[in-house]
Amino acid sequence: MSASPYDVNALRHAAGEIITNVRELAAAGWTPATSSNFSRRLDERHAAITVSGRDKGKLTENDIMVVDWDGKAVGSDHRPSAETLLHTQLYARYPDIGCVLHTHSQNQTIASRLYSGKGVVKLDGYELLKAFRGNETHETEVLVPVLPNSQDMHTLAAQVDALLDRQPMWGYLIDGHGMYAWGRDMPEARRHLEAFEFLLGCELELRKLQR
Ligand SMILES: CSC[C@@H](O)[C@@H](O)C(=O)COP(=O)(O)O
Ligand SMILES: [Zn+2]
């Protein structure tokens, strides 16, 4: 029997981490109707990612599989997330990225609709901006790009790459779709995702009050 191309213990650990964290994100209502997908880097060529179409609130080890940077399944007959390329492009580009989270919360979806014309949500002056790695003061701004939605992941991935060529970022919105956020590991990716969610919620509430 040939050896596995990835560390099976690393997979087990990554799967446990995804399952625990995603259960909490799902309980918050951020993964409705089987939407959303989640991944964790295993090594310099492989990531653990959710199987396509599964109920993200009820994940088990069977719902997590391995892919390479081309988005191809490794050692599994399951179909990886339809949006696998949006995860693997980040791992391939940044060796220090260890976790990518994609959710469909109501705040993320509504903000993506409201700001798709501008193509960006500007977050500035919030203390919570310090939740993003590298920020040490509220006196800064974080720009959250809003990309047009597409069912063609190569098109979306090319747009993300073009953005990353211009500016460092920890996440983006897709119009009418949801949010991608990432970090060096699960706690950091989750902190970034939660900060985006909170701050987008603030912007939406402010818009209502300012009407
Ligand atoms: C159930 S509609 C949402 C999907 O089209 C997609 O955007 C999504 O987030 C989940 O796709 P999946 O293939 O399960 O990873
Ligand atoms: Zn999605």
45 found inside a domain = yes
56 found inside a domain = yes
Q: What's the rounded Cα separation, in Å, for the pair 90 and 98?
A: 9
Strand order in the sheet with 99-103: 64-68, 46-50, 37-41, 99-103, 178-183, 171-174, 141-147, 120-124
172 found inside a domain = yes
Ligand 1 pocket check: which of 18, 38, 81, 150 to mutate, most ligand atoms within 8 Å of Cβ?
A: 81
Mark the ranges of the chain whose per-residue pLDDT is less than 70. Answer: 1
Q: What's the rounded Cα separation, in Å, for the pair 21 and 188?
A: 12
pLDDT at residue number 211: 85
**How many separate domains does the chain show?**
1
Contact at 8 Å (CB) between 192 and 182?
Answer: yes
* Residue 104 among known ligand-binding residues: yes
Torsion (CA) 33, 48, 14, 28 in degrees, nearest 10: -20
41 found inside a domain = yes
How many angstroms does the Cα of residue 83 sit away from the middle of ligand 1? Answer: 7
1 found inside a domain = no
Residue owning the nearest CA to atom 4 of ligand 1? 35
How many angstroms does the Cα of residue 52 sit away from the middle of ligand 1? Answer: 7
Q: The domain spanning residue 164 has which CATH number?
A: 3.40.225.10
Contact at 8 Å (CB) between 101 and 38?
Answer: yes
2 found inside a domain = no
Query: What's the domain range around 111?
Result: 8-210
pLDDT at residue number 57: 97
How many angstroms does the Cα of residue 77 sit away from the middle of ligand 1? Answer: 18
Q: What is the pLDDT of residues 35-75, one digit of tens each?
A: 999 999 999 999 999 999 999 999 999 999 999 999 999 99
